[in-house]
């Protein structure tokens, strides 16, 4: 299997279908924490992707299509722009287009059962109705008209549900071509007369196209298509439309009126909406269930669907090599993205360093206090302070005054409870005024003889002893 081409977070695999404007590929979307999803990627031909006007309109149409959320519409997930590339990322659907299914039915010398044909078209009509009723974020109608409803743009899923695809593409293509030479492009054989004549179109143009699709499903013949565009346009504007039951004996006459109303050349004589046409079809005959449609689909294109499923499995099995290497994620940190996880690790490392420093300081202070407690012998000479060079005189500790170690322990406990690291300064205590006997004078050292200052302790209003220097 050839290595896929990667654009952004998408890997583009083999081609699924091709048209005059774009190719459709099987793709894989990759994301954080090993997330993957199979998608369909529509890739515009390079010539069109270089046209700024077309690209802008196409992106705008894709944005509008994203407003349509319905089970019978293939979802648009993303739009990717790269140098000379334009990708439309869509929901991947297992199935086959109605155009290819009709070819398979003709090949098998079979017919499309009426209940199957109605199920396919009713699904399409419900999807079209959702598009026609789509609104903006502000709740304003978007006025979306597909304008390219045809067997090529109806996809029958392996689950038996039909979805409308390719919203907006034909509309964008038509605008581009009109700005160049004034002609109208599209599938002429399915266009409403007002669309061909360049008049304003609304949802009833899609109803007309749906009527053409239904007529052709029931009869397995082409309605307006001729040997060239001139003949096709002539048929579209003036040909008398035969009743389906006259050409296909299995079609009930109750359907004839519904089909012919949808094909009325005057928009005001058609169904006013796709939903109205779907209701009329459901009242005229039995509509097959999705399970029945899926079974019928497999009977005609089952081999093709199996081949695509096998290709999909190969892509999914080989997608592991496409993943960007990521550090293992702690299973207890569900929902935390990579950057947040890294930031959390940095915070934990910082806290560990601070905690280690606090413990080292406490241990150092505890050692000093232990040495103070051991001074039961006559006091030692004065020693120079390592902080400011002043002289300190060690004093016996009274039993009624808290020791330095107990103060440090209390401060450390408070810091641990609050989750905030704290530095602890431990000061030696002076004897209580109630201690018995005068304090012994230390033997003066050379440093003491050279200084006329000494350190003493004063108890403030809060009962905390603070050192002070007294000089003569």
Q: Write the pLDDT tens digit of every residue in 322-338.
A: 433 333 333 332 333 33
Higher pLDDT, 86 or 3: 86
What pLDDT score does 317 carry? 82
Model confidence at 407: pLDDT above 70: no
Q: Please compute the mean of the pLDDT values over residues 384-409 and round it to a whole number.
A: 42
Look at 163-172, 178-187, 220-229, 303-312 and tell me which has the smallest mean pLDDT: 178-187
Q: What are phi and psi of 109, to 5 degrees?
A: 55, 45
Please tell me what DSSP assigns to residue 69.
-
Q: How far is CA 168 from CA 133, 183, 186, in A?
A: 15, 18, 12
Please name each of the domains of the chain with its CATH number: 94-319 (1.10.510.10), 338-471 (no CATH)
Contact 391, 384 (CB under 8 A): yes
Query: Which pLDDT score is estimated for 4?
Result: 83
What mean pLDDT do residues 448-470 have? Answer: 59
Which has the minimum average pLDDT: 58-62, 219-223, 258-262, 267-271?
Answer: 58-62
Residue 76, pLDDT score: 86
**pLDDT level of residue 463 (50, 70, 90 thresholds):** low
434 pLDDT band (50/70/90 cuts)? Answer: very low
Among the residues of 374-470, which ranges form H helices?
404-418, 446-449
The dihedral built from the CA positions of residue 165, 171, 174 and 180, taken in this order, carries a sign that is negative
How confident is the model at residue 453, as a pLDDT?
60
The contacts of residue 347 (CB under 8 Å, 6+ apart) are: none
Poorest-pLDDT segment among 92-106, 152-166, 385-399: 385-399
| Average pLDDT of every residue of the chain | 75
Q: Which tokens sit at 423?
A: 């530095």
Taking only the tens place, the pLDDT of each residue in 94-142 is 999 999 999 999 999 999 999 999 999 999 999 999 999 998 888 888 8
Q: What is the pLDDT of residues 268-311, one digit of tens each?
A: 999 999 999 999 999 999 999 999 999 999 999 999 999 989 98
- The model's pLDDT over 173-216, given as tens digits with 9 standing for 90+, comes to 333 444 344 445 458 999 999 999 999 899 999 999 999 999 99
pLDDT at 342 over 50: no
Q: pLDDT at position 200, please?
A: 87
pLDDT confidence tier of residue 48, bands split at 50, 70 and 90: confident
Mean pLDDT of 6-33: 86
pLDDT confidence of residue 228: 93
**Residue 99: count of CB within 10 angstroms of its CB:** 15
148 is catalytic: yes
pLDDT at 345 over 70: no
Residues 6+ apart with CB under 8 A from 245: 251, 252, 253, 255, 256
Residue 230: per-residue pLDDT: 93
User: What pLDDT does residue 452 have?
Assistant: 56
Phi, psi of 466 (to 5 degrees): -125, 135
Per-residue confidence (pLDDT) for residue 466, from 0 to 100: 64
Cα dihedral sign, 87-90-92-96: negative
Point out which residues pair with 467 in neighbouring strands.
Answer: 457
Mean pLDDT value across residues 77-97? 90
* From 148, 159, 303, 388, the catalytic residue: 148
CB 139 within 8 A of CB 312: no
**Spatial contact of 273 and 262, defined as CB atoms under 8 Å apart:** no
d(CA 257, CA 255): 6
Dump the DSSP string for 350-387: HHHHHHHHHHHHHHHHHHHHHHHHT--SSPPPPEE-TT
* pLDDT in the model for residue 391: 38
pLDDT at 45: 87
Mean pLDDT calculated for residue range 436-441: 50
Record the tokens describing residue 454, joined without a space. Answer: 């000494």
Residue range 339-351: mean pLDDT, rounded: 41
């Amino acid at each position: 299997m050839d290595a896929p081409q990667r654009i952004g977070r998408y890997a583009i695999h083999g081609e699924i279908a091709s048209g005059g404007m774009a190719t459709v590929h099987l793709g894989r979307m990759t994301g954080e924490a090993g997330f993957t999803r199979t998608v369909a990627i529509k890739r515009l031909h390079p010539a069109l992707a270089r046209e700024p006007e077309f690209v802008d309109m196409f992106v705008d149409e894709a944005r509008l299509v994203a407003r349509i959320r319905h089970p019978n519409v293939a979802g648009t997930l993303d739009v990717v722009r790269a140098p000379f590339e334009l990708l439309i990322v869509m929901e991947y659907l297992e199935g086959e287009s109605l155009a290819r299914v009709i070819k398979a039915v003709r090949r098998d010398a079979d017919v499309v059962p009426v209940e199957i044909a109605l199920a396919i078209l009713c699904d399409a009509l419900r999807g079209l109705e959702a598009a026609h009723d789509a609104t903006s974020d502000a709740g304003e109608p978007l006025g979306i008209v597909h304008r390219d409803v045809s067997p090529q743009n109806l996809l029958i899923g392996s689950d038996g549900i039909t979805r409308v695809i390719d919203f907006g593409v034909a509309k964008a293509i038509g605008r581009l071509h009109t700005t160049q030479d004034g002609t109208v492009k599209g599938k002429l054989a399915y266009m409403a007369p007002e669309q061909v004549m360049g008049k304003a179109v609304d949802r009833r143009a899609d109803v007309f196209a749906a009527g053409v699709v239904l007529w052709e499903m029931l009869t397995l013949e082409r309605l307006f298509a001729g040997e060239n565009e001139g003949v096709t346009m002539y048929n579209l504007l003036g040909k008398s439309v035969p009743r389906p039951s006259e050409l296909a004996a299995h079609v009930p006459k109750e359907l004839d009126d519904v089909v012919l109303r949808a094909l009325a050349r005057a928009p005001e004589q058609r169904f006013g909406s796709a939903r109205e046409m779907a209701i009329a079809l459901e009242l005229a005959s039995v509509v097959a269930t999705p399970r029945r449609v899926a079974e019928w689909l497999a009977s005609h294109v089952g081999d093709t669907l199996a081949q695509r499923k096998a290709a999909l499995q190969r892509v999914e099995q080989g997608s592991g090599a496409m993943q960007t290497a990521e550090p293992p994620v702690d299973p207890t940190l569900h929902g935390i993205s990579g950057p947040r996880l890294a930031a959390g690790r940095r915070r934990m490392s910082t806290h560990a360093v601070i905690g280690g420093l606090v413990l080292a300081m406490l241990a150092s202070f505890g050692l000093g206090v232990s040495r103070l407690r051991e001074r039961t012998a006559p006091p030692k000479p004065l020693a120079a302070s390592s902080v400011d060079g002043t002289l300190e005189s060690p004093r016996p500790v009274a039993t009624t005054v808290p020791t330095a170690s107990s103060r440090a322990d209390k401060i450390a406990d408070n810091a641990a409870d609050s989750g905030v690291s704290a530095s602890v300064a431990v000061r030696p205590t002076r004897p209580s005024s109630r201690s018995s006997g005068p304090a012994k004078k230390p033997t003066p050292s050379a440093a003491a003889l050279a200084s006329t200052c000494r350190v003493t302790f004063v108890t403030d209003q809060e009962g905390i002893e603070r050192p002070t220097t007294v000089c003569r």
